[in-house]
Structure 1
Amino acid sequence: MLKVTFPHIGNTYIPLRTLLSELGVEPVVPPPISDRTIALGARIAPEFACFPLKVNLGNYLEAMEAGAEMILMAGGVGPCRFGYYGEVQREILRDLGYDVQFLLLEAPKTHPRQLWERIHSIFPRNTLSDLIRALRLAWLKVAALDRVDRLANRIRPLEIQPGLTTSLQQKFYRRLDEATLEAEIRRTLRQACLELESVTLRQHEPDLRIMLVGEIYMVLEPRVNFAIEQTLGEMGVAVDRTIYLSDWIRDQLVFSIIRPDWDRQWRQMAKPYLHNFVGGHGLETVAHTVEAGVNRFDGVIQLAPFTCMPEIVAMQVLPTVSRELSIPVLSIIIDEHSAEAGVQTRLEAFIDLLRQKKRKASGGNSSCKLISVLT
């Protein structure tokens, strides 16, 4: 049986394991990202390549140690270098003597016939009904993950017993990964929601609301962002994450085909500050920061990998948004040299400043400066 691996990004391994298994191949899930993963990837990647590319390479090396024969990787178009990841990674591994196949999946709107032909030629279970069943089960798991993560982010800041929400979240991930039938997935989701909703809470609202924006990999992968959602939640801060996998699939793989103006809302929000699409999630970073200012969030945290062009462009715009809408912004740039202690210190300082600002607020507009941090 063909052994197929993929990049490790958050909990996407759970639906991807199901998708590949249902299509008749053996999924090789990369080990959780560790210091070794990052060191392996950084050693063979170009020095100024995006941090996610380096981590992905480390994932592949560890997965090939476990027997992976093919790498499943998404492609793309536009200014972001992500569209070149697959080809660059293929050449790097080939130069190092690794004999591994790459399956690069472009968005269906670019070459739908070629995409179907690749799927049909590689996967043993390749009828249309097989594909629909596999996609349905994977989608149910994606939607379940995002629903539980959203609920956990609302509950964690108010829990009386520290760590309980995260413990229940981790238990749900394990159970969902083991579920193989639609009924099991739905039952696992219901049980997780009931357990989370039964957590004993403090009888007041979180004192701060933070919007989390930035590049998709840095937002979704807790190892590279040092579990920022959990950290902020345990500090009593409600986190509104702006990127979820189900939203990305819906927007990029469905709406972008059937509704070309699906992102009109974000383009309109960003337009006073950023007029053009700059690739990646750069425009959305600006738009969501505007949204946070309009909706009176207490602050915004932007996560970006070192040398990420779209987020660097957005970063140049955010001081103006911060000043005009009185919304404090913390930009954290992360690479293989970043340390958890440094990020933790900066988060604590930012939250302290926000609490001071809120205590001193008299109801009028107050200017605030952008805080930009390079870690």
Structure 2
Amino acid sequence: MPKVTFPRMGESWRTFKMLLEDLGNEVVAPPRPSKRTLDLGVRYSPEFACFPLKILMGTYLECIEMGADTIVTTGGVGPCRAGEYAMLHHKILKDIGHDIKMIVFEPPRHYPLNFIRNVLALNKARVSIRGIISHIKRAWRKLQALDNVEKMSHVTRPRELTSGNTSRVYRKALEWIDQAYTTPQIMEAEAAALEALKNIPQDPQRMVLKVGIVGEIYVLLEPASNLEIEETLGNLGVEVERSMFLTGWTRDNTWNETTEGMTVKEAAAPYLPELVGGHGRDSIGNTILCAKRGFDGMIQLAPFTCIPEIVARTILPRVSRDYDIPVLTFFLDEQTGKAGMSTRLEAFTDLLRRKKLLQARTNCVTG
């Protein structure tokens, strides 16, 4: 029986593992990216390839060491190199002696036949069509639960009385959801996880900043690639709202584009009316929408050499001035260090806090 693996993006691996096993596959769960993962990826990837390609290269090599012989991944559309990742990874792996099968899911909204063919190829248990749909629905419900619990952790962490409580409860909650199998069990685990996070002792009087995070999908979703920036910000008293979760991205690329996605495009249109690939236009649009909602600041996360995010970076200073919202950009690669990032985040949040206090005092005087 083939041993199947896939890219790791945050906690979504728990959902994909369940779905692939339901279809009769033996799954090699991708390990959390580590320094060794990145070292392997850098060794075998082109020097100026973007950061996600290198991490995924290292992940695949580690999974091959664990016995994987089939990789399931996604393609892409538009002017972005991400759509070529699978082909390049496959060629590199073949050149260094690994005869790996690559199954590439293109966006089903654009390539429905590709989706159907790949699902049937992975259906080793010969599950009926009705059964496949049932398994997909249950996996979707688990993915929703994982995203909802992560969102709640972003609200709780900056308000917790004891530092580290949210992270400890969140880790337990992930295991509850992971162990749930049926849809009722998943819903029960989600409810218990949300309740556990809400019950963490919090300081309701604490001044909490609200910061949005935009950028390229992989460095947004995989904490190992962004050096746990969301947890760091939470510990600094910042409630984070990420512009992208896997459920939203999946809806936009599987069915029809959501109203939310269309609103982002409309917001970005005066500054960037054309598709530049990746999530460059989304970074502009979401920054504007967050500014209109009264956010204190924005952070852009971008892989080094990512053209769409470089384009967005050149426009964001104008957006920042027009909407009076501070924007901090991190370009991430194998040289990025957590200590340096933490120092910049501390300085940024200090500035945001002073700005917020000054605005409050000004409002009191004028009021």
User: Which residue is equivalent to 1:360?
Assistant: 358
SS in 2 for 1:263: helix
State yes or no: 1:97 paired with 2:97: yes
TM-score (norm 1): 0.93
Amino acid at match of 1:219: L
| Separation in structure 1 between the aligned mates of residue 109 and residue 164 of structure 2, nearest angstrom | 43
User: Which residue is equivalent to 2:301?
Assistant: 303
SS in 1 for 2:302: strand
Compute the displacement of 1:297 (Å): 1.1
| Separation in structure 2 between the aligned mates of residue 335 and residue 31 of structure 1, nearest angstrom | 19
Q: Is the 8 A contact 1:292 1:327 kept in 2?
A: no
Q: Is the 8 A contact 1:3 1:26 kept in 2?
A: yes
User: Which residue is equivalent to 1:65?
Assistant: 65
| Separation in structure 1 between the aligned mates of residue 156 and residue 173 of structure 2, nearest angstrom | 15
Where do 1:16-31 residues align within 5 Å? Answer: 16-31=16-31
Where do 1:310-349 residues align within 5 Å? Answer: 310-349=308-347
Where do 1:13-92 residues align within 5 Å? Answer: 13-92=13-92
Q: How large is the Cα RMSD of the aligned pairs?
A: 1.5
Amino acid at match of 1:243: M
| Separation in structure 2 between the aligned mates of residue 26 and residue 343 of structure 1, nearest angstrom | 39
Amino acid at match of 2:2: L
Structure 1 runs (4+) deviating above 6 angstroms are: none
- Seen in structure 2, the aligned counterparts of structure 1 residues 262 and 60 have a Cα distance that, compared at 3 Å, is same
Q: Is the 8 A contact 1:207 1:237 kept in 2?
A: yes
| Separation in structure 2 between the aligned mates of residue 305 and residue 101 of structure 1, nearest angstrom | 27
| Separation in structure 1 between the aligned mates of residue 73 and residue 58 of structure 2, nearest angstrom | 14
User: Which residue is equivalent to 2:202?
Assistant: 201
Q: Is the 8 A contact 1:73 1:86 kept in 2?
A: yes
SS in 1 for 2:256: helix
SS in 2 for 1:255: coil
User: Which residue is equivalent to 2:244?
Assistant: 243
| Separation in structure 1 between the aligned mates of residue 245 and residue 114 of structure 2, nearest angstrom | 28
| Separation in structure 2 between the aligned mates of residue 229 and residue 330 of structure 1, nearest angstrom | 14
TM-score (norm 2): 0.95
State yes or no: 1:125 paired with 2:156: no
Q: Is the 8 A contact 1:255 1:262 kept in 2?
A: no
| Separation in structure 2 between the aligned mates of residue 83 and residue 31 of structure 1, nearest angstrom | 23
| Separation in structure 2 between the aligned mates of residue 264 and residue 162 of structure 1, nearest angstrom | 38
| Separation in structure 1 between the aligned mates of residue 216 and residue 14 of structure 2, nearest angstrom | 21
Amino acid at match of 1:282: G
Where do 1:101-250 residues align within 5 Å? Answer: 101-126=101-126, 127-204=128-205, 206-250=207-251
| Separation in structure 2 between the aligned mates of residue 193 and residue 352 of structure 1, nearest angstrom | 30
User: Which residue is equivalent to 1:373?
Assistant: none
Amino acid at match of 1:123: N
Q: Is the 8 A contact 1:18 1:137 kept in 2?
A: no
Amino acid at match of 1:301: I
SS in 1 for 2:299: strand
Q: Which moved more, 1:172-181 or 1:285-294?
A: 172-181
Q: Is the 8 A contact 2:108 2:255 kept in 1?
A: no
Compute the displacement of 1:263 (Å): 3.1
Compute the displacement of 1:203 (Å): 2.0
- Seen in structure 2, the aligned counterparts of structure 1 residues 58 and 272 have a Cα distance that, compared at 3 Å, is same
Amino acid at match of 1:290: I
Amino acid at match of 1:65: E
Compute the displacement of 1:152 (Å): 1.0
- Seen in structure 2, the aligned counterparts of structure 1 residues 155 and 262 have a Cα distance that, compared at 3 Å, is closer
| Separation in structure 2 between the aligned mates of residue 265 and residue 118 of structure 1, nearest angstrom | 32
